[in-house]
Structure 1
Amino acid sequence: MYSRALRPCLITFQVHGRHFSSTKQNNRRVTVIGAAGGIGQPLSLLLKQSDAITNLNLYDIVKHTPGVACDISHMNFPAKVTGFTGPDQLKDALRDAEVVIIPAGVPRKPGMTRDDLFNTNASVVRDVALAAAEVCPKALVGIITNPVNSCVPIYCEVMKKAGKLDPNRIFGISTLDLVRASAFIGQAKGLNPKTVNCPVVGGHSGVTIVPLISQCQPAVSFPQPELEKLTKRIQEAGTEVVQAKAGAGSATLSMAFAGARFAFALIRALNGESNVIECAYVMSDVQGTKYFASPLLIGRNGIEKNLGLGKLSDYEQQLVKAAIPELKANVATGEKFVK
């Protein structure tokens, strides 16, 4: 059921070209929260290269954030880049934003789980939501901050308390799982990974990451032992990067790429492009977990339709079943933090 739907997820990044987006409109205001960090800087650089963005606001708590904005502003692309720093400037950075991307927070280090990041990063997401509820409640928001499975519920609960919740506008960016699935499947099958599209559902950590390889385009198949090994690699790819960097950080560059891809999808939807479809972790009743990642049809006002999971293989049904308890616990942790 996804043959037509998921193809629009594929985008081409033209690093030396004039733009990343095919849209002819150039009137979008985008804010990056955490713009001076390991994800935020390359993400901001990618966003600057889009002709579809008029204003790009870069916010972080560190003092050199205006310097990052100044540096990126020297690139010969149209978007006006402005830097903001410190809690006192958070609302100004967010004011009237149409798209907000949040990679803010501390990164994972060797031995850390996403849950270990919770106390620090939960406060970051709460504070951004409080400010956004006041100055840009209608923005389409993409949350990268880990643990995504808990941080998206935090953002939604804060907006609910403020009387500004529209769950169709709030997304947990799980795009990196799709990017990794495409890369790994392409490598395994000798395919150009840009032509591979595999939906990934569930959540954005460990066993909650469920690649639907049976729905991959082009169609691929693996012997069961190889399928299980590939699935585990997709689920644990973040740890693979953390270990490979040997204490120097987590996935930043690939996450920036994935975050930019999702931001451009939101902008294309805002500009009226039809059939914009991406997987994301959102408030959902698909599996009775309150939040769940699945393919979504996105329009001017956010989610137009949750496309669900489609037909699952027996193995994928087992993976979804294993993900449910973890997801429910993650969601409960996020909601408890706000209460």
Structure 2
Amino acid sequence: MKKITIVGSGRVGESTAHNLAKAELCREIMLIDIKEGMPQGTALDIQESAPIFEFDTKLSGSNDLAAMADSQMVIVTAGVPRKPGMSRSDVLDTNLAVIDGIVDAMLKVAPQAMLLMVTNPVDVLTYAVAKRSRWPRNRVFGMAGVLDSARMASFIAMETGFSVKDISAMVLGGHGDTMVPMTRYTTINGIPIAHFMSDDRIERIVKRTREGGAEILSLRKTGSAYDAPAAAVASMVDAISRNRRQILPAVAMLEGEYGLEDICMGVPVVFGERGLERVIELPLSDAEAEEFRRSAEHVRADLARLRG
């Protein structure tokens, strides 16, 4: 890609920018934030690491959304983060107003760009962007499943002692307490985790995966996770920028898959140069389908607030 814009230069935005620059996934990164001097300072700080990490990506910052002009992708990390005791849904109303302004600016200066939503509640805000922009689903998607799956894989590695390089995890559903860790599709070097772990141990990992973000938030007290989310974003951008046609779990608008329509949920998708190229529909057991349905109901409850 030639240019990627990151709206929001807080911890997630900054870490994302550094990951993209080090991997040279684009020629130019624009950081945008409403705080005067913050995106400019962040961009300069990262730029000064270029000789050490040996990247030629150019970074700059702005307080004007018009600076996203000519971007091939816009990554949205802007918004109010949740505090200890808050759910991702609690920040919906505030963050929706922020997202609407970003989409309106994109429609004017970057109407052909893809949008990758990171701000929470990511399922609902991805839906809001899709409806406000009226772009096809290949250009509007959200980050959640890659992060949740990485957390699950990390916990499995911690629990078993096996190399995390051999662990492949899959998490579907909404990004929250009702997410659906797919233990049946989670393997260690191709071997189902049930071969190595008891049901009780697996259930503990499922619970910890669902509470992964809250665990970090409760430990830090004043800030939520940013390194793992930024790494997840970078993996999605890598798949698109390098046309890998890689299967990753992401928030996508469903058009009949899994029996659902007009809702954004975490599902496995194929990412390539056109963005989200297709949704992969996994066969679900009755229990898995019921969990997925409950997760969808939770997302629809927030969508009702959106429509109201």
The TM-score, its normalising length taken from structure 2, stands at 0.90
Residue 231 of structure 1 is matched in structure 2 by 206
Residue 156 of structure 1 is matched in structure 2 by 130
Which of 271, 274, 298 is the aligned partner of 1:326? Answer: 298
Which of 152, 157, 165 is the aligned partner of 1:194? Answer: 165
| Correspondence list, 1:166-245, <5 A | 166-174=136-144, 175-207=146-178, 209-218=179-188, 219-221=192-194, 222-245=197-220
Q: Which string of whole-angstrom CA distances, capped at 9 and with x for unpartnered residues, describes residues 138-194 of structure 1?
A: 22211110011211111112102xxxx122111110121111011112222222113
Counterpart CA distance in 2 for 1:261 and 1:299 is 12
Residue 251 in structure 1 maps to residue 243 in structure 2? no
Residue 316 in structure 1 maps to residue 288 in structure 2? yes
Superposition RMSD in Å: 1.7
| Correspondence list, 1:138-157, <5 A | 138-157=112-131
Determine what percentage of the aligned residue pairs are the same residue: 29
Contact 1:297 1:304 in 2 (8 A): yes
Contact 2:24 2:56 in 1 (8 A): yes
Counterpart CA distance in 1 for 2:206 and 2:273 is 34
Worse overlay, 147-156 or 43-52: 43-52
SS in structure 1 at match of 2:4: strand
Residue 95 of structure 2 is matched in structure 1 by 121
Distance of aligned partners of 1:227 and 1:313 in 2 relative to their CA distance in 1, 3 Å threshold? farther
SS in structure 1 at match of 2:27: strand
Worse overlay, 295-304 or 217-226: 217-226
Counterpart CA distance in 2 for 1:229 and 1:238 is 15
Q: Which runs of 5+ in 1 are unaligned?
A: 1-26
Counterpart CA distance in 1 for 2:166 and 2:2 is 29
Residue 280 of structure 1 is matched in structure 2 by 250
Q: CA deviation at 1:137?
A: 2.3
SS in structure 2 at match of 1:39: helix
What amino acid maps onto 1:124 in structure 2?
V
Q: CA deviation at 1:314?
A: 4.7
SS in structure 1 at match of 2:257: coil
Q: CA deviation at 1:251?
A: 1.1
SS in structure 1 at match of 2:276: strand
Q: CA deviation at 1:313?
A: 4.2
Distance of aligned partners of 1:141 and 1:229 in 2 relative to their CA distance in 1, 3 Å threshold? same
The number of residue pairs the alignment matches comes to: 294
Q: CA deviation at 1:244?
A: 0.9
SS in structure 2 at match of 1:109: coil
